[in-house]
Chains A and B, each alone.
Chain A
Amino acid sequence: MKELAEIWSELLGLPPGEIPHDVGFLRLGGDSVLAVRMSALVRKRLGVALALSDVRVETTLDDLAELVRRHTSGGAPATRALPLTVTPRPDPHAEFPLLPLQQGYFVGQQDGWELSYDSAHYYLDYALTGVDGDEAADALADAVGRLATHQPTLRARVTPDGRQHVLPADAPGAVPQVRVYDLREAGPAEIATALRDVRQEMSTSGPDPTRGPGIDVRLTLLPGDEGRLHLGLSLLIFDGWSSSVLSRDLLAFVADWNAALPPLDIHFGDYVTSLADLPATEAWQADRDWWWSRLDTLPGPPALPLAADPQEVRPVTMGNREHRWRAESWAALRRQCTDRGVTPSTAMLTAFGVVLARWAGHRRMLLNSLQLNRLPIHPEVQRVVGAFAATMLLPLDLAAEATFAELAATVQATSGEHAAHNLITGVEVGREVARRRGSWRPVGPVVFQSVLGVDAAMGGGPPEEAGPLGRVVASDYFHQLRTPQVAIEVRCFELGPEMVAVFSLVEELFDTDQVTAAFAEFVALVDALADGSGWDRLPGLPEETEPGPASGLRLGLLPEPAVRHREGPPADDMEQAVADVFEELLEVPVLDRAADFFGLGGDSLLAVRAVVRLAKEAGVSVPVREFLSDSTVAGVAAVVRSRLGDQR
């Protein structure tokens, strides 16, 4: 109130104490132009953005105070204050580093690591009705163009050595092009084939930001004013939250040729750049100490029986098992969760843990949880698209004699405690674990992801009316995900009033019957939670805490190829050249030919850079896979030598 009186005093030239609270702005000498300035000052000084129509000349100081109060109540959730500020970078096209999970995806695209694909991406298409077939294509292309201005990350590219930048809007190919399939005159058979083909293509070859835009937008026009919107999103550029933001922004631009979204001052690159100061903060150091102190006692992943060694399989897509809970069951589940004091996400996580424990035969295990992880260091962070997401390693220790409700309460506490230390992400923790264990297998190949509650956080579900694109039929969709370094993951999300859970997995790794059984168990368990019967039961967990001695292939218990080289200085020029590349990238002296790239402090991104360097220096391209299979100085030199031999 005091600040408001001061603003009025400045504008009206009256002493603050003499401004009556119940007299309108106009009667005190204000006018409509001054009223505009007043609301600008309220925004600047109090951080409250009033609508243009909120502030009128009749407004009294009391009215204004009430307006401001209404805008500030509701209150943002308490968050850790971090001493970081995000400001627009002087050069918006300058390169900036990849965040840890982006690095993981980038490296995952290099065909070097276990369970990698040429593109890590998400594919989605959904149905449209009431499409204006003559206008839809133009409206969509227009919308994508404007979106690429509003959200410059649509113009992001990743460089071959794993950095990123945003192309200027007028650079050739910067703005994603829309592809349209006009099947308005086609028959059912032709349509079915065409849809199958486009899905096959977009599921198996996603947008690759090292070559083009990280987003692929297509539209199929169908008879009867129907259609489908197809979206391919590179996980290197967009996280799950972004795909919701993008859909909303895109549909708003489609619906109205002149729609304007609240402007964004900062973008993903600005955010990432400001994170460079994070490691200097006390909060970051505290989080690192917290994680490092428990690394050596982290469990392994659930020891699921495998049909093949992940190193041997070359998956093209992931298989899905999917179930939808109708609006009533989902509402019932939410009510049950509220009564039990756990979030729906926790309930799903616990259910997943229970199913995994029964499948793997032991109760202590490490899961990898995908977190939105947008640090609240700028008010616009939630509205910007980018690859903000991070993983979090989450150990579960399910007690043998606990009811589901008790398990869920413990899981909620554990997960909350770990999430409170989110300044160090799972990728970084995983790298350190790998270094200490001397294993380069994925540390967290079993993933949990839940975006339950995101719609509410965004202020309601996505818009259904999209102008010339007609109405979105959210429940009629098809989707496909490819995440590298994942053996199996569960994803939970809302679809309008319904809830969906999907197991996505590398089919080649598992026995199909076991997957089917596990998923059925999961669905039955969630059903029992929704009807209330599942909470007070003992879920029938195995006796063993840790996995027993391995019989056959099991996740987390796979053989490690042992490589041994005689220690000593580099034996020849080739080994010396490799040692030089290692030294340059790792910034440590490399004196021993048996020294291992990762043991010396290298990580997967640096490994990609080493391969790029070797290609330049030695004139041969060493496949990442071979670099990794023996990443000692002597081993890499041997690969280079044999490649050179092949060339001759």
Chain B
Amino acid sequence: MSPLNDRADGAGHAAIAGADLSGTAGAVADLDRLILLGLSAHLHRHSRLGRSAAGLPAGPGQDPAHEADTIAGDLGAAPRHRWIAGHWLGALHEAGLVGRDAAGRFHDLHAPRRAELVTARTRMEAARLALGYPAELAELMLRSLRLLPSLLSDEVGVQALLYPDGEPATAEAVYRGNLISRYLNAAAAEVIRDLAGRSTRPLRILELGAGIGATTADLLPALAGRPVEFYLFTDLSPFFLDTARRRFDAGFLRYALLDIAHDLPRRPDELDLIVAATMAHNAPHVGRLLGRAAALLAPGGRVLLIETVREHPQSLTSMPFALSTHDGPPRRLDGRAGTTRTYLSREEWLSALEGGGLRVEVDLPRPADPLTALSQRLFVATR
């Protein structure tokens, strides 16, 4: 990898210096465990899984197998959210918590005991502390489980979960300041510093799906005192643009609504940097998105992605609801087509970047880094 990769990694680790990373993988597993057990408990209570044909609690091996869609019906899922039941059962199966027969039907759902749930809750607390998450994360996870019936039935939108009171504070607390975000954002800021140092003209920057601006907030300081022509902050909802206007005061910031599922605008072009933090997976076809993005770049311009490379159960009770379209699962036209996968693997992200005619310069954290357990990565590729 490039010297930039080393410098960015160094900057990232400097930002979390002193943190004990040895328990990272265990902590990630503990967060996941809580959601998996919480989901099992929910399915036990609200679906026919784990019951005999007569509806009574069934012992192991005694309950009939069911289609995921039947379970979706039991859960009262709105049509557009029905796919989520199958998505969950797949994850539970992977974790060994539910059986799947040859026909793809599910049976033998694990019935969590109270002591198990209590332990999982306690360990989740310790885990979120170890990973540098605030109490809001714990609350968010527990609240998501509590809200499942109304999220599934679409009586409550996932926004009410992610942005309690319509304020970004909870999301901000959760998405900034934790170990992996600090590492990734500091590494990303280093990339920006490098870019600004080498540029011969004021920078032109576009951020996609900038949301509550948790990444933006860490990038802007790297631009302080540098010539910037514009930093165009975009997202789907005016809510985010409003919040950002109130929050940031750099004179070069511009704001616009932009939906990447449609098309990227042709202008502004000749961009020096396109930032997409935990949002590019929303594109129906990631390769095409990156190709279009590459076309907007000036020569030597860069795409900076912060992305997830594996869906952790931890987010199963929140993210899928944000992905459902008007009438069903998210539209996927790339390698994910025909599955309910949300993210690309690391290799897929790399080849999607390369397929767009970009040269990958940063791919972090390094393979042996304990932070890889968090499955969030920084990719930077240059045209």
Contacts and interface: CB of A to CB of B under 8 A. Distances in A.
Nearest to B118: A142
Contacts, number: 73
Residue from the set B41, B114, B155 with the largest chain A CB neighbour count within 10 Å: B114
B255 interface: no
Q: Sorted from nearest, which 6 A-B pairs have the closest CB atoms?
A: A37-B166, A40-B165, A53-B155, A36-B166, A33-B239, A32-B157
Interface stretch (B61-69, B142-150, B177-185): B142-150
Given A52-B156, A138-B114, A142-B118, A33 B150 contact: no
B230 interface: no
B145 A258 contact: yes
A605 interface: no
A36 B124 CA distance: 28
B136 to A, nearest CB: 13
B160 interface: yes
A29 B41 CA distance: 39
B114 A37 contact: no
Given A37-B166, A40-B165, A468-B114, A258 B146 contact: yes
Contacts of A260: 142-143, 146
Given A34-B237, A260-B142, 6 more contacts: A33-B240, A35-B157, A35-B166, A39-B166, A40-B166, A138-B113
B157 A36 contact: yes
Interface of B: 38, 41, 113-115, 117-118, 121, 142-143, 145-147, 150, 155-157, 159-160, 163-167, 237-240
A33 B212 CA distance: 12
Given A31-B237, A34-B237, A37-B239, A138 B118 contact: yes
Nearest to A54: B155
6 contacts: A29-B238, A40-B167, A43-B165, A53-B155, A138-B113, A257-B118
B187 to A, nearest CB: 29
Interface in A117-160: 134-135, 138-139, 142
Where chain B touches its partner, the secondary structure class is helix
B41 A257 contact: yes
B121 A257 contact: yes
A492 interface: no
Contacts of B114: 135, 138-139, 142, 257, 468
A32 B115 contact: no
A275 B41 CA distance: 45
Contact of A32 (B113, B145, B159): B159
Contact of B238 (A31, A38, A257): A31
Which of A38, A40, A258 has most B Cβ within 10 Å?
A: A258
A37 B167 contact: yes
B119 to A, nearest CB: 10
Nearest to A41: B166
Contacts of A38: 166
A32 B114 CA distance: 35
Given A32-B159, A36-B157, A52-B150, A257 B117 contact: yes
Nearest to A55: B160
A138 B160 contact: no
Main secondary structure of the interface of A (DSSP, over half): helix
Contacts of B113: 134-135, 138
Interface in A239-267: 257-260
Contacts of A29: 238
Contacts of B142: 258, 260
A51 B166 CA distance: 14
B149 to A, nearest CB: 10
B257 to A, nearest CB: 11
Nearest to A43: B165
A33 B159 contact: yes
Nearest to A40: B165
A168 to B, nearest CB: 16
B157 A34 contact: no
Nearest to B162: A33
A608 to B, nearest CB: 40
With most chain B CB atoms within 10 A of its CB, the pick from A33, A134, A135 is: A33
Interface string A200-222: 00000000000000000000000
Contacts of B115: 138
Q: Which of B41, B156, B167, B240 has the most CB of A within 10 A?
A: B156
Contact of B150 (A40, A53, A468): A53
B166 A33 contact: yes
A259 B142 CA distance: 9
Nearest to B240: A33
B249 to A, nearest CB: 20
Interface in A15-69: 29, 31-41, 43, 52-53
B2 to A, nearest CB: 39
Contacts of A258: 38, 41, 117, 142, 145-146
A52 B142 CA distance: 16
A155 to B, nearest CB: 18
A36 B146 contact: no
A34 B146 contact: no
B117 to A, nearest CB: 4
Contacts of A259: 146
Interface in A600-636: none
A138 B157 CA distance: 34
A31 B117 CA distance: 36
A7 to B, nearest CB: 11
Contacts of B238: 29, 31, 34
Given A257-B41, A257-B117, A36 B237 contact: no
Contacts of B165: 36-37, 40, 43
Contacts of A33: 159, 163, 166, 237, 239-240
A506 B150 CA distance: 54
Contacts of A40: 165-167
B95 to A, nearest CB: 19
A40 B164 CA distance: 8
A222 to B, nearest CB: 20
Contacts of B117: 257-258
A468 B111 CA distance: 14
Nearest to B121: A257
B239 A34 contact: yes
A36 B159 contact: yes
Contacts of A138: 113-115, 118
User: Of A37, A40, A135, A142, which is in contact with the most chain B CB atoms at under 10 Å from its CB?
Assistant: A37
B241 to A, nearest CB: 11
A31 B163 CA distance: 13
